[in-house]
Amino acid sequence: MNNHLLKLEQELAIARTRITSPAAVAPGGEAVAAAKLLLEAAREDHNREGLQRTPERFAKAFVHLCSGYQKTARDVVGEGVFAAEGKGLVAVREVEFYSLCEHHMLPFWGKASVAYYPNELILGLSKIPRIIDLHARRLQVQERLTESIAADIVDLINPRAIVIQVEAQHLCMMMRGVEKQGSSTTTETVRNVAGISQEELQRLYASLK
């Protein structure tokens, strides 16, 4: 490795340690400097016309894409928890999301579906997509994204049973590595299903199809 590349590696390592949380990143700060370093690593001139504002645009986009670090589920749900007026099934299907893989910081995207039987409380329907986006707008792996959505809903309303399914495509598998364009990944988690009947469990799964 020549001295120029070694210097860039050292600078990128410093930038990574400084950007410990997207909540601490502001346009014009470390994210701008990191973008300039990445352009230099690609042997680009960040001062040429087409790239002059790219570091600032990158920083603004990065803050938005990682804005989930700045809030909790209770923040995004607010007053959207209500008393349940029945015990019937609730399902919200195919909520689109976009996230960044924490291993390569490349996008992955797909749809998440949630089905639950209420106990004493329900969530406002729009709050489920908000919880999904909260966790999608963090550096993620799909498995943790799925589990985190379930954990927050259980914490907020303690449903009698809940199933969450997530299907996504990952650019880290499509544009690099194995380069498999038609592949998708499905993850699932279930909570509290031991307390419901087999018929209720079947309806729970059927509602996600």
- CATH architecture of the domain with residue range 82-206: 2-Layer Sandwich (3.30)
**What is the average per-residue pLDDT within 20-38?**
70
- Model pLDDT, residue 177: 87
Q: What whole-number distance in Å separates Cα of residue 110 and Cα of residue 142? A: 10
More confident residue, 8 or 29: 29
Catalytic residues: 101-104, 142, 170, 172
- Does residue 150 surpass a pLDDT of 70? yes
Average pLDDT over residues 8-20: 50
Q: What share of the chain in percent tops pLDDT 70?
A: 87
pLDDT for position 10 = 60
pLDDT of residue 7: 57
pLDDT tens column, 54-106:
999 999 999 999 999 999 999 999 999 999 999 999 999 999 999 999 999 99
Mean pLDDT of the chain: 89
Residues 111, 166 contacting (CB under 8 angstroms): yes
Domain with CATH 3.30.1130.10 in the chain: 82-206
